[in-house]
Amino acid sequence: MKLFTCSEEKPLWNRSPELRKMRIKLRRTEGRRKQVKSSNRIFFSSTIHFFIEVL
């Protein structure tokens, strides 16, 4: 989820610190979500490999 991807919107973030804080918070939550997704993917792939080895 990206807010204001246009280059024209960038000065808005620099003007108000509240928006910048929100942006940082968004980026942090996005990063966490990505980490969770990747760890889930690793977990699923490992379990699938395990089942294949068992069969």
Q: What are phi and psi of 2, to 5 degrees?
A: -115, 135
Q: d(Cα 28, Cα 33) in Å, to the nearest integer?
A: 9
- Position 15 scores a pLDDT of 63
pLDDT per residue as tens digits for the range 22-53:
777 877 777 777 777 777 777 777 777 777 77
CB within 8 Å of 30: residues ≥ 6 apart: 1
Domain-located, residue 37: yes
DSSP codes, 3-25 = S--SGGGHHHHHH-HHHHHHHHH
| Closest residue by Cα to residue 18 from 30, 26, 29 | 26
* Residue 36 domain-assigned (yes or no): yes
Task: Please tell me the total count of domains within the chain.
Answer: 1
> Model's pTM, two decimal places?
0.34
Give the domain range for residue 45: 8-54
